[in-house]
Chains A and B, each alone.
Chain A
Amino acid sequence: MRLADLPFPFESAPGPAAVGFAEVMADQWQVTAGRLRSAGATLVALWAADRRDLHDGFEIRAAYALEDGLACLRLSLPAEAPDYPDLGEHFPAAGRMQRAAFDLTGVAPLDPADGRPWLRHGAWPAGAHPLRRDVVARSVWPAVPDDYNFVSVSGDGVHEIPVGPVHAGTIEPGHFRFSVVGERVLRLEARLGYKHKGIEKRFESMTLDEGVALAGRVSGDSTVAFAWAYAMAVEQLTGATIPPRAAALRAMLLERERVASHLGDLGALGNDAGFAFGLAQFSRLKEDWLRLNARFWGHRYLMDRIVPGGLTDDLDDAHLPVLARQVHDLADEVARLRRIYDDHAGLQDRLRDCGVVSNDLAQRLGLTGLAARASGMAVDLRVGCAVPPYDGLDVRCATRPEGDVAARAAVRFDEVTESLRLIGLLAETLPDGPTRVAVPSARQGSCGIGRVEGWRGEVLVFVEAGADERIRRCHPHDPSWQNWPLLEHAILGNIVPDFPLINKSFNLSYSGVDL
């Protein structure tokens, strides 16, 4: 389905990314979702905002990915009864996003399938909604008891294993409730939100220029993706066009971030299967990679390099041969390690047929990004409606049909190889010219959406400008929203000790969804 097939007068945003904004009536909200669903569109993000100060009640927005771009539908809700039809029936991924939207703003779906809180853990009472505009950002509420009802499984020999939020290793906090018989997992329920820190509220006290630094900190391992998506949104709403050199350099940073993350994950996957050799080797490669980042860009993880209008610093052309050589050497090393991984019977025994997500399930529940590609879905923003410079790079989308841990490892290997090729190509064909342009001033109330294929999947950032170049509303969306629920399905029928491996093969963000 294309944007033009929808019966709405789309106001298309300027810039290279095809994004259309449209207003929807309450009766069309759910019907449209059903049409989009049956036409194969996917729900990318859903968020709400308080507009009572503009005498506009509340609003809920849903962003759908269509063949030729993104449709951002907006439903206006009355201030006295801010509820809307549930989208969970058509898009299961909407469930948690709707729960989070309710906790933050108080807009609720009618008859939700799951009415439990998501981000509210007891730090604020049930009636309070911190993202409402009349709530002061520094508000402190008395702690309320946090009684979350996990779905329990009963039966002979069934027992529960609660894991987290504090783990034995230094990892992000999340609670996993396993219902098991012996070692076999009957059900897994994840509870997240332990890292909620009010990022969206903080955005509202920042200017459009300042916001990029916070966007780059939504999920630290995807800082380039979030910063680029934010910058793209601001450029869209102000009508700025970045020079070709800036676009090429941004892509180079994004691919370097992808390579760094994949190298880290491939090592960790080996280590979690007890193959510490893999961790040592991939850590070495990743460290060299990060050090070159620090040398040429001044930051190991490339934080704060992308700003609205371009990049903070240009890359010295004298560095390009060094980059090309590093890419070439790394490709050789990764190929050798891949042969070792592939030929290691013990390791392959752990990875194969472990944590399978079938293509059918992935389509039904809306899996996205790297994990979706490992389940045979060819979704990659760099391939489809690509923004420059990806439109000229002919990116190969790495897919695997199996959907198991081994497939997710294989997609990572393929993507490292492809990203290395892209970096080499970008270094060869880097255009001359400026790397930053001045961003025009933003009209109050204008909106923009940036979408970037981060290493986990599609990162989306929505920005609405307020008065005086300030942010009125900013919603950063991490692909982990879509993929966390799939983890609960991937573990079914597997055994408890395989969970860390399956979890690592997805490697989803906690911070990115807890906001």
Chain B
Amino acid sequence: MLPQYALSQLLEALFAVVVAPLALGWVNQCRAWLQNRRGPGVTQPYRVIAKLFRKEVVLAHQASFLFRAVPYVVFGCMVLATGIVPMLATALPFAPAADVIALVGLLALARIFMALAAMDTGTAFGSLGARREMLVAALAEPALLMVFFMPSLIARSTSLTTIVETLAHQRVAVHPSLAFAAVAFVMVMLAENARIPVDNPGTHLELTMIHEATILEYSGRHLALIEWAHALKLLVYATIGIALFLPWGIAEAGHWAGLPTAVLALVAKLLVGGAALAVTETVSAKLRIFRAPEFLATAFLMAVLGMLTHLLLEGTA
């Protein structure tokens, strides 16, 4: 392995870990603006995480080692995921080790541990949240896999770097199949990241929570790690979306000069994407929880339609 490849890998993971709270802050700030509020500023998530790190950890008496370990597992999973997703460059030594299916598995692993930790303390809200989280996950994961299979068919590979390189090299053309997949991906992303309309990240109503209910018992540095991992997850999804559907501008293997352009391109795409997410959230109300399966079934259907369109209209060339 060439040292510059290792550097590229390290740089990318570091970039993701540092920038993730900023991306979340940007979405929240856009939401505040859209609601005619001044908003807390884009750096608010950093302040929240810093505050939580300084705070004492309060543990339930019956909490097991699992409860204490999960924040690290979840954070680790998300950092690993950033190592697989080509954000800035496609030269990632980790990437061949894990393809998109492994990525879906990695995200599922984090979620399973989160659900286990939620049930660990035995509170009503923890199991309530875990139950709902698994309901959403069980429907979101197949849809996410279908979304990934579509570009895999085009690139004839399930490796994300290969997919991105193939897609970035294509002539600029409208692929109806990719459009379907993109819509499906956005729907899955909203559900997986506990955004409106599936979940409400800003709610204080414990009975309506999905993701928030699973982390109610966490405090201090544990909560800080979970919040940070949550921001990372949003960034991972955003960059997957960008890599699959807007890959232009990414630095390819060996093209180090392209890196500054890649950073600028990514930041621009994240700014636009974050604003678009905020608009989506502002104009929607939260779905009644039993509408969430319909919502995710629609996402699955979109992904299938994308694949059919590809097979029927675009051939297998």
Contacts and interface: CB of A to CB of B under 8 A. Distances in A.
Contacts of B193: none
B124 A160 contact: yes
A497 interface: yes
A346 B290 contact: no
Interface residues of B, number: 29
Given A161-B124, A161-B128, A168 B204 contact: yes
Contacts of A276: 31, 35, 202, 282
- Most chain B beta-carbon contacts within 10 A, residue among A162, A163, A274: A274
Contacts of A168: 204-206, 216
A44 to B, nearest CB: 32
A183 B196 contact: no
A242 to B, nearest CB: 42
Interface in A273-291: 273-277, 279-281, 284
A496 interface: yes
Contact of B34 (A183, A277, A279, A284): A277
A10 interface: no
Contact of B286 (A162, A169, A273, A281): A273
Given A163-B207, A169-B204, A496-B207, A280 B36 contact: yes
Interface in B286-311: 286-291
Nearest to A347: B285
A500 B289 contact: no
Given A274-B200, A349-B291, A495-B290, A344 B206 contact: no
A157 to B, nearest CB: 12
Contact of A500 (B31, B35, B208, B283): B208
A499 interface: yes
Interface in B106-130: 124-125, 128
B207 A275 contact: no
Nearest to A170: B204
Contact of A274 (B34, B206, B284): B284
A183 B124 contact: no
* Most chain A CB neighbours (cut-off 10 Å) among B37, B207, B284: B207
Interface in B148-163: none
Contacts of B62: none
- Identify which of B34, B202, B285, B290 gathers the most chain A CB atoms within 10 Å of its CB: B285
Interface in B193-216: 196-197, 200, 202-208, 216
A497 B208 contact: yes
Contacts of A497: 207-208, 288-289
A75 B82 CA distance: 76
Interface residues of A, number: 33
Nearest to B212: A168
Contacts of B286: 273-275, 346, 350
A165 to B, nearest CB: 13
A335 to B, nearest CB: 18
B128 to A, nearest CB: 7
A351 B284 CA distance: 14
Given A280-B37, A284-B36, A163 B285 contact: no
Contacts of B287: 346, 349
Contacts of B35: 276-277, 279-281
- Residue in A160, A169, A277 whose Cβ sees the most chain B Cβ within 10 Å: A277
A402 interface: no
B291 A500 contact: no
Interface centre among A167, A169, A277, A497 (most CB of B within 10 A): A497
A23 interface: no
Main secondary structure of the interface of A (DSSP, over half): helix
A281 B282 CA distance: 12
Contacts of B202: 276
B11 to A, nearest CB: 37
Contact of B197 (A163, A169, A346, A496): A346
A275 B285 contact: yes
Q: Of A167, A273, A349, A499, which is in contact with the most chain B CB atoms at under 10 Å from its CB?
A: A273
Given A276-B35, A280-B36, A496-B207, A183 B290 contact: yes
Contacts of B37: 280
Interface string A244-288: 000000000000000000000000001011111101110010000
A495 B204 CA distance: 18
Interface string A143-183: 00000000000000001111100011110000000000001
Interface string B200-244: 101111111000000010000000000000000000000000000
Nearest to B125: A161
A498 interface: yes
Contacts of A160: 124
Interface string B24-40: 00000001001111000
Nearest to B291: A349
A333 to B, nearest CB: 13
A349 B285 CA distance: 9
Contacts of A347: 285
Contacts of A159: 124
A347 B200 CA distance: 14
B36 A273 contact: no
Interface in A325-367: 344, 346-347, 349-350
Contacts of A167: 204, 206
B216 to A, nearest CB: 7
Interface string A482-515: 0000000000000111111100000000000000
Max chain B Cβ within 10 angstroms of own Cβ: one of A159, A275, A501: A275
B207 A350 contact: no
Find the residue from B128, B196, B205, B206 having the highest chain A CB count within 10 A: B205
A161 B205 CA distance: 14
Interface in B50-107: none
Interface string B126-147: 0010000000000000000000
Nearest to A171: B204
B282 A500 contact: no
8 contacts: A167-B204, A273-B285, A276-B31, A276-B35, A277-B35, A346-B286, A497-B208, A500-B205
Interface of A: 159-163, 167-170, 183, 270, 272-277, 279-281, 284, 344, 346-347, 349-350, 495-501
Top 7 nearest A-B pairs (CB, nearest first) are: A274-B286, A169-B204, A346-B285, A280-B35, A500-B205, A275-B285, A347-B285
Interface of B: 31, 34-37, 124-125, 128, 196-197, 200, 202-208, 216, 282-291
